[in-house]
Structure 1
Amino acid sequence: MTHSPPESWDAHCTSGRTFRRLGDAERELLAEHAPAPDGGRALDIGCGLGELARHLAAGGYRVDAVDCAPDAVAQAAAHPENDGAVTYRVLDIERDGLGDLGPAYDLITFRLSWAFLHDRTRVMRRLRERLRPGGTLCVITPVAGTTPPGRRRTALDEDEIALLRAGWGTADRHDAEGLAFVVLRDPVPAEVTYAGKRQPAPHALTGAGVVVTDPAGRVLLGWSRRGVWELPGGKNDAGEGFVDTAVRELEEETGLKASKARLLALLLDSTHGVPRMTAAVRVIAYTGEPAVREPRLIHRWEWHEPADLSALAQPLFTPSAHVIDTVWPGLLTGLPHVHRYPVA
């Protein structure tokens, strides 16, 4: 149930150390917000030495009290005030599940224990399913903002408390002498939604290189104003797929209109310390004749025999070379390293 193994909680108990006693404010809030109905059943998770479980039993609940530490459960069960209204058992709520517990509860409590759970979302989902209609789930927890730095692991910060309260029709928070006393009722059915995070810092380049050939099998390359031969292609626009990028860039740069194009592979390398992802796209059918449409970038377009590319007198743009190597493996030698992810 906790970040610490059960053995560490046993050591805590056997050493004589104790837990924060149940305060008057907590008792008053429990009486106000979670009084026991006739035949009411409660589940106290992380019961420790059983003080809250005994208080709930005195208020009219039949209580299942569970903890992952065997020694704590043994001490709680041996307490002289037990009158049979509390059933104690060793249970790790995360690893052991809920199969051995009752089918439904009017009240489920976590006192000073919620912060120690790893899989809080999953556990909460399963506990919501165990609440009777109108039932209450109560989390009593230290708050990070008022907890000494050395004990922050026992507390929840404001973000975690907000996350805890999400998905409930009632999610009231009260103060119990410095503890957050959170009352949750009426689980709200929901469907998953999707969202981004904060605006990311620029991290990588993504784009497409296009292999288009004429009826004689010659490949189209442009002589760039940056002094390299390159395939048609360019960077993705926001929200644009690789094939769409390839088709758009081909028309913008050359005037050719692709009617059929296929993604062959994704190629990952880097330039100037920036990751670069290039999609190798093969245009299978097109109309038109190539023309210089962006003279600020390209001097001219030429059809090249693929067999001649290994003996070009001028440099070949590295991403274009990797795309060409995808279409004609082994045609070019001495290529810089690239991670290649073929698309079936």
Structure 2
Amino acid sequence: MAHTTPATWNTYYADGGAFRPLGDAERRLLAQHAPAADGALALDVGCGLGELARHLAAAGYTVDAVDHSGTALARARADTAPDTPVTYLLHDIEHGDTDELPHPAYDLITCRLSWAFIHDRTRVLNRLRERLRPGGTLCVITPVPSAVPEDKRGIALDEEEIGLLCGGWKVADCHDADGLAFLVLREPIIRTVRCAAKGRPSPHALTGAGVVVTDSRGRILLGWSARREVWELPGGKNDADEDFVAAAVRELEEETGLVADLEDARLLALLMDSVHGIPRLTAAVRVPAFSGEPAVREPDLIRRWEWMEPADLPHLPQPLFTPSAHVINTVRPGLLPDLPPVHRYPITATAAPAPAPAPAEQTAGADELQQTTPDR
């Protein structure tokens, strides 16, 4: 997975950098799977130097082409004829607001050779899905590991990542475009939340903590466990003589690199269910403040960390780890409906820490929890 900044890309393009030219196979597949109807609108995400945007315009689309590199857009505008129906816009599709886009919905959204550079792909994919007109198409064109040198694997998507991208669509076709994966995605499926176990644990008393940590916009941090094929919160088992809050803060740092103050962490409830006949006790811990940026510290357990919009969680194409779902529903009561049974024992804090800035509804949800009756 490759992660860069606008400054990095500005330097790259200022030095004359470019991407692989648009190939004949891509042009043919675009004509076959995404022909332009009268008045059709297209959004080209990560447009770079604008080659794909200009091709779509020539094919009949009115195109909004966005990129977070001002240098790339300057070069793109210089190479675009004045009467070409392409609007270039400086916009960060991952960190910006899609309400800032020129049009509310599009017949075609393309993302060519740039999907691997997006960190919170699930959230971005959800926002792009919302911008498709009925019957619209999302087209992602990406390198695959077998077609790039080993030192370039970060710009490619493997089978697992392509599977995650294709989840949640009625139509998800993959074509070969001279070594590139050409993905055609249509008719998004809005799923209800699904939960999954992670296999039979070793026989012992199962106790641990799940940690809800949010960024400044109220997004919840979740990790993708490729081995177990579930999304899960940071957290894990507590060590001998270690309390739940200490375990939560320790696991958060060990798994993500985020550092939290033990005095700020807040135990909201104890949750008890069972797995394979073994009782399982999970502490729901809220961490309102932290320092650092999420990083994969234990790649054998978690493939990547993403900030997720709470409203997206009930409709994830992939399942949530069951204890994580219960912990999220403790912090945000009612967010995830129809979860498996659990015994919930709310904890009334004797001295609640001063909360860090967070959305008002999130704080209110946690406060309401203190007056609820245990689910039995």
Contact 1:10 1:72 in 2 (8 A): yes
Deviations 1:322-341, CA, capped at 9 Å, x for gaps: xxxxxxxxxxxxxxxxxxxx
Contact 1:7 1:69 in 2 (8 A): yes
Tell me the distance in 1 between the aligned counterparts of 2:190 and 2:80. 43
Q: Once the 2 structures are TM-superposed, how far is the Cα of residue 35 of structure 1 from its aligned partner? A: 0.4
- C-alpha displacement at 1:196, in angstroms? 1.7
Q: Does 1:65 align with 2:43?
A: no
Aligned pair count reads 214
Q: Indicate the residue corresponding to 1:13 in structure 2.
A: 13
Deviations 1:27-86 (A, max 9, x none): 000000000011000000000000000000000000000001110011111214352400
Q: CA RMSD in A?
A: 2.2
Extract unaligned runs of 5+ from structure 2: 208-273, 282-373
In 1, the alpha carbon distance for the partners of 2:82 and 2:167 equals 36
- Name 2:182's counterpart in structure 1: 181
Asked if the contact 1:54–1:82 (Cα under 8 Å) also holds between the matched residues in 2, the reply is no
Pick closer, same or farther for the CA change 1:200–1:115 going to 2, 3 Å.
Answer: farther
What residue is the counterpart of 2:165 in the other structure? 164
Summarize deviations over 1:161-202 as a string: whole Å, max 9, x none: 011111101000000000000000011121110112244455
Q: 2:275 and 2:196 mapped to 1: Cα distance?
A: 20
Q: Tell me which residue corresponds to 1:299.
A: none
Q: Confirm whether residue 100 of structure 1 aligns to residue 100 of structure 2.
A: yes
Secondary structure at 1:96 match in 2: coil
User: What letter corresponds to residue 41 of structure 2 in structure 1?
Assistant: R
- Highest Rg: 1 or 2? 1
Identity of aligned residues (%): 58
Counterpart CA distance in 2 for 1:171 and 1:177 is: 19
Q: Per the alignment, do residues 138 and 237 of structure 1 end up closer, same or farther by CA in structure 2, a change over 3 Å counting?
A: closer
Q: TM-score, normalised by structure 2?
A: 0.54
Equivalent AA in structure 2 for residue 63 of structure 1: V
Amino acid at match of 2:37: P
Distance 1:65 1:54 in 2: 9
- What is the aligned partner in structure 2 of residue 24 from structure 1? 24
For 1:73 and 1:206, locate their aligned partners in 2 and report how far apart those are by CA, in whole Å.
Answer: 54
| Partner in structure 2 of residue 118 of structure 1 | 119
Q: Give the whole-Å Cα distance in 2 for the aligned partners of 1:200 and 1:240.
A: 9
Bigger relative contact order, structure 1 or 2 (CA pairs below 8 A, ≥6 apart) = 2
Partner of 1:3: 3
Give distance in 2, aligned partners of 1:30 and 1:238.
49
Change beyond 3 A, Cα 1:196–1:50: same
Once the two structures are TM-superposed, the CA of residue 146 in structure 1 deviates from its matched residue by 2.4
- Structure 1 regions of 5+ residues with no counterpart? 208-235, 244-343
Could you say which residue in structure 2 is the equivalent of 1:219?
none
Change (3 A) 1:82 1:49: farther
> 1:1-344 counterparts in 2 under 5 A?
3-101=3-101, 102-201=103-202, 204-205=204-205, 238-239=276-277, 241=279
SS of residue in 1 equivalent to 2:3 = coil
What is the alpha-carbon distance in structure 2 between the residues aligned to residue 10 and residue 71 of structure 1? 5
The 1:16–1:196 alpha-carbon spacing in structure 2 relative to 1, beyond 3 Å, is: same
- Residues in 2 aligned to 1:190 and 1:127: alpha-carbon distance in whole angstroms: 17
Whether the 8 Å contact between 2:54 and 2:80 is mirrored in structure 1 is: no
Greater per-residue strand proportion: 1
Residue type of the alignment partner of 2:104: P
Matches of 2:104 and 2:18, distance apart in 1: 31
Q: Distance in 2 between matches of 1:112 and 1:38?
A: 27
> Is the alpha carbon distance of 1:237 and 1:160 closer, same or farther for their aligned partners in structure 2, counting shifts above 3 Å?
closer
CA distance 1:242–1:9, shift in 2 (3 Å)? closer
Question: What one-letter code is carried by the residue in structure 1 that aligns with 2:113?
Answer: L
1:100 shift after superposition = 1.5
Partner letter of residue 103 of structure 1? P
Letter in 2 for 1:113: S
Scaled by the length of structure 1, the TM-score of the pair is 0.59
Equivalent pair of 1:115/1:154 in contact (CA under 8 Å): yes
Rounded Cα–Cα distance in structure 1 between residues aligned with 2:82 and 2:168: 36
SS in 2 for 1:99: helix
Which residue pairs with 2:319 in the alignment? none
1:94 Cα offset (Å)? 1.1
CA deviations on 1:87-123 (whole Å, 9 max, x unpaired) are 0011001111211111110000000001111111111
